Amino acid sequence: MNYLHLLSLDNIALLKDWLEETGELYVDIDLPHSGSSGSAYLVRSMNELKLLISRQTHPEIVIAIFHSLQYPIRGIADEILLKQVFGADFRWCVVHHHLIGKCLSSFGRLARKWQES
């Protein structure tokens, strides 16, 4: 299936504006009745977005595209990232990493070190 036809010219113009403003779009693709959860993507160009949408083959789809920069604090779990996190004005944090245990363990040691100093 090709779902590109779902994007009107107005949608495309708006998405281009958002990309120029933020440099990336957070795209969530959900495939209803597929037995799996949705997938999230960060796209940095309209070509990436069009390619992502054109590759979807499930007969049902829900596409959510977010304007605001998602996950604004990113990086390696080190002292610099820790300072950014503790200095940020928010009450939640999500850590995504393929070595999640190792990442959280390192982050925990840095947090204790930070609090002790």
**Residue 90: predicted pLDDT:** 52
- Here the tokens at position 94 are 């999500």
Q: Are the C-beta atoms of 65 and 73 separated by less than 8 Å?
A: no
Length reported for the chain: 117
pLDDT at 20: 94
Sequence-ordered list of residues with C-beta below 8 angstroms from that of 39, at least 6 positions apart, any chain: 28, 29
What values do phi and psi take at 77, rounded to 5? Answer: -70, 90
Domain positions in the chain are 4-66, 79-116
pLDDT, one tens digit per residue, over 70-104 is 766 777 777 777 777 776 655 545 554 444 444 44
* pTM for this predicted structure: 0.63
Is residue 30 classed exposed, middle or buried when 0-12, 13-18 and 19+ CB atoms within 10 A define those classes?
middle
Residue 49 has a pLDDT of 94
User: What is the per-residue pLDDT for 116?
Assistant: 54
E-only strand ranges, 44-105: 62-66
Residue with tokens 């609090």: 115
**Predicted pLDDT of residue 54:** 92
Residue 35: per-residue pLDDT: 82
Average pLDDT over residues 37-62: 90
Residue-level pLDDT at 99: 41
* 5-35 tens-digit pLDDT: 888 899 999 999 999 998 999 898 888 888 8
Does the pLDDT at position 50 exceed 90?
yes
